[in-house]
Chain A
Amino acid sequence: MATPQFAKFYPDFYIERDLDKCIKCKKCIRECTYGAHIWDEKKKILKEDHSKCVGCHRCEATCPTGAIIIKKHPSAFREHANWTPWFIKNIYKQADQGGVLLTATGCAQPFKNYFDHLVLDACQVTNPPIDPLREPMELRTFIGPKPSLVEVEEGENGKFRLKKPLPRNIQLEVPIMFAAMSFGALSLHVHHGLARAAKELGTLYNTGEGGLHASLYEYGSNTIVQCASGRFGLHVDYLNAGVAIEIKIGQGAKPGIGGHLPGEKVTEEISKTRMIPVGSDAISPAPHHDIYSIEDLRGLIYALKEATEYKKLVFVKIAAVHNVAAIASGIARAGADAIVIDGLKGGTGAAPTMFRDYIGIPIELAISAVDKRLREEGIRHRVSIIASGGIRCSADVVKAIALGADAVYIGTAALIACGCTMCQKCYTGKCPWGIATNNPELIKRLPPEVAFEKIYNLVRAWAHEIKEMLGAMGLNSIESLKGNRDKLRAVGLTKEEMEILEVKHAGE
């Protein structure tokens, strides 16, 4: 007798087909990459294997007659506040297969979301709001170290000039950049969309640790290249290709572990970009083995700066963990130009479920703690803070900046803009929406122009909303919002939480 596979007995989703509407065109079969729709040749009918449905809604969205609805599977377990279906089914999976639970996206556990406990201020009576449609409103943001003081001297013709040149900075037209997502995790089409959107919006996208595809070098002035522990596709031309190099120490979705791209995903194109043989596993160790201390980190930061003749800014990305403030202080002192902090809710294409859900701390607390620590030490001006992980709307951006960030990264939000339905199966490489896949047939489902348009529209809309919110607060530049916690009030937070966030309670 074959061993029963318990996980298969209880599907997460239920494919409901309206037989009156179904014209048996079999489009659902062609669209589903998981084999959930089946044609019964004998009976000439369409059938479903609910256990294979991942809830991506591709069939529902593309059915020409609207005959399909994907529902949560109605089959229920007896209610139990502790042993919810999530835990029961995970145990079945592991008992069936004996492996580490794998998932994607960011933390799915309902931890307190601090963004949702913060409200913004607006002008009433005593100071006038600003209408961004009629008055200038600046979202321009400069990433990089600022001088501790600005000295001017009188030059010829009585004109004043700076005594020393300002440190190199990167100018962003919106304080929103695109987070590191590699070619390999994403299709090349999405990378093209991100790169073009970054260019048109005046911001940056990030290559992730997948190297830089030859066709993307032209977007160099809008590119951050990443140097992670596997050093894949990393060479002199790559380091010089962008405007910044990000040393990836950690990621919010999986702090403390490395990553690996399974050999199945290393196709011809990916092999060229990562510079590894086709079909071989690409393993990124948990640490950079040349970095075991802040001093070692300084070693790599300056190795990169020397190698690129100080023309590139160096970012250091870490996951938000318990001691994030002290670590960030070390990173600033190690010579980084920007610190990227990726919070508990930070996304991924593949992470062990336990890591995604339970490791790391919320980004809101981390930004505030880091900003405070760097201010107390008098080194806040030496680095920019980039907040990442779980930014869902423009108000989240505003709150992150008011808590002390200079700018934010968005990843998941940009993918949702491209049609991602958060089915959380990126690691299968079968993304039916053509986003997190490199299957040559599937990537056609999302052409680069569409990816570009959607991502561009999203950030354009958010930028306008941010201007409106700033105007309502009576501010005319995003600079005036940075670390301006007076514009925030807490609703339903404890004293301790408010102390860390440095915000007052609503009504105070």
Chain B
Amino acid sequence: MSLELDVSTLHYSKVNRLLREAILEGEKEIVLKGVNGHRYLAAGVSANVKIDIYGIPGLDLGAFMRGPVINVYGNAQDGAGNTMDEGKIIIHGMAGDVVGYAMRGGKIHIKEDVGYRVGIHMKAYMDKVPVLIIGGKAGDFLGEYMAGGVIVLLGMFSRYPERPIAGLFLGTGMHGGTIYIRGKVKESQLGLGLKPYALESEDEKLLEELLKDYARDFGLDPSEFFKEDFVKVVPYTHRPYGRLYAY
């Protein structure tokens, strides 16, 4: 049994209210149809529910959320997964800017391209290790200030074959976490002091596991991903401000 709602004529606030009411009544699967720029869907929802979204959700999809598994059958606008804590967002299209800002846990899987400032200040804590996988290409400042977690950039399903896999300043100021990039990335595109490194066996094991899950979400063959080598970008220091001050 799942609840299906046509939200095309409803304000986002109303949609969220209906969502929360349904969850409170024990609904485990909710389908939202006619989503068209509705902001903050499932923001702050703390429950293990499945939400299917048909259309294009607006700003801050699933912000601060803890638990829901959201499938977006379409593109998503800016701020998906903003400061999310747990759960999963699967976007069967493209996503806008600042996806996964400061996310602390859970997963975001995006089939195609993303905009600018994606994965900024992702962090990890104890058993919470957030994962952000991008099937297409990314704009500038991917993983800026990254403090923990994993970003995987595949560059495979992009609408922009002429563009480089990532924009400029990738990983600028990162002091934790790992960014994996399929294929090659020019050093000039990385943030100050960063270098691409070859993968070690633990990296390969982790990537295999993460990409298997990603492939399952989109019905892809996971072996395709490994037809090209990956590189990884890790912080050159965990203490970027260690020797900055005079006392």
Give chain A's interface residues, CB within 8 Å of chain B.
93-94, 96-102, 229-231, 234-237, 239, 260, 262-263, 271, 275-277, 280-281, 283, 285, 289-290, 299-300, 302-304, 306-309, 352, 428
Contacts and interface: CB of A to CB of B under 8 A. Distances in A.
Interface in B7-64: 12-13, 16, 20, 39-40, 43-44, 46, 59-60, 63-64
Interface stretch (B151-159, B191-199, B203-211, B234-242): B234-242
B85 A290 contact: no
B101 interface: yes
Given A263-B239, A283-B145, A289-B98, A97 B246 contact: yes
Most buried by A among B12, B98, B117: B98
Nearest to A274: B125
B16 A275 contact: no
B243 interface: yes
Interface of B: 12-13, 16, 20, 39-40, 43-44, 46, 59-60, 63-66, 78-79, 82-83, 85, 98, 101-102, 104, 117, 120-121, 123-125, 128, 141, 144-145, 147-148, 173, 175-176, 238-247
A425 to B, nearest CB: 9
B147 A283 contact: yes
Best-buried of A101, A230, A236, A239 by chain B (most CB within 10 Å) = A236
Contact of A303 (B82, B240, B241): B82
Nearest to A275: B125
Contacts of A230: 102, 121
B79 A302 contact: no
B99 to A, nearest CB: 10
Contacts of B125: 271, 275-277
Contact of B64 (A281, A307, A428): A307
Contacts of A99: 243-247
B246 to A, nearest CB: 4
A92 to B, nearest CB: 10
In this complex, which of A262, A271, A281, A308 has the most chain B Cβ atoms within 10 angstroms of its Cβ? A281
Contacts of A428: 247
Contacts of B240: 281, 283
B82 A285 contact: no
A309 B102 CA distance: 22
B79 A283 contact: no
B44 to A, nearest CB: 3
B147 A302 contact: no
A236 B84 CA distance: 9
A261 to B, nearest CB: 10
A390 B65 CA distance: 38
Contacts of B12: 306
Contacts of A303: 39-40, 43, 59-60, 63-64, 79, 82
